[in-house]
Structure 1
């Protein structure tokens, strides 16, 4: 894809600290890490959104995320690992990618959950709508 920094990294047109790659994914250190060791996992096929990624690449992304988490847990005294990906206006590069971030108790990185006042009946309505959509889509 033209003007995609991740595609340029994959094709070695831009320098990056590549940790691992295979025919489906490329993993490299994030240039603006949450914590040292923060890794990005990028499918080699350009897909702007999660919903667009082909099944093989998506499987490789999640399996590689698990492998990278093991690497981080063995190299750093982590308190945990955060695996994260964002879509739409919340992502910073128009190429699907997954973050694997070594975490520490007081590292200051938080996802804050908003207070929701959902009623149990709202959940039932939502469940019915979602199941109807899934049935229509024939998973």
Structure 2
């Protein structure tokens, strides 16, 4: 199956690259939320964050930190919004992290997720299920 991000890595699709390492690539989003919206990807095809090889975790996060600092230093942003989707709402099935420059009053409203309260005892039960799942992943 064709992957536009793999094509960017291969050089067959043009992109405005802002950061290159042997294992990572960052480039401007073609449809940015704000000017300077960057996408960070592993050069190897990795579908989602859970699929990211252990040896890429630290370099990936370090590059994200550098990009978050760069949008402030280079573009005059006051901060950034850093996010990624895994499968659901993932427009390209290749791991990509968004670094979006932010300025107070920029109009970005964030996420409008419905909120709810836990029923009595429910929160502890959910936490226990997550701890159990984490333990089984170790």
Query: Shared fold (TM-score greater than 0.5)?
Result: yes
Structure 1 residue aligned with 2:111: 111
C-alpha separation in 2, matches of 1:78 and 1:135: 40
- 1:63-102, aligned counterparts within 5 Å? 63-102=62-101
TM-score by structure 1 length? Answer: 0.91
Q: Deviations over 1:66-116 (max 9, x none)?
A: 001111111223232111001112110010010011012222222123221
Structure 2 residue aligned with 1:34: 33
Structure 1 residue aligned with 2:135: 135
C-alpha separation in 1, matches of 2:135 and 2:19: 39
Q: 1:120 deviation in Å?
A: 5.1
TM-score by structure 2 length? Answer: 0.91
CA-based RMSD: 1.4
SS state at 2:45 partner: coil
Q: Contact 1:18–1:28 (CA<8 Å) still a contact in 2? A: yes
C-alpha separation in 2, matches of 1:64 and 1:42: 10
C-alpha separation in 2, matches of 1:36 and 1:120: 45
How many residue pairs get aligned? The number is 137
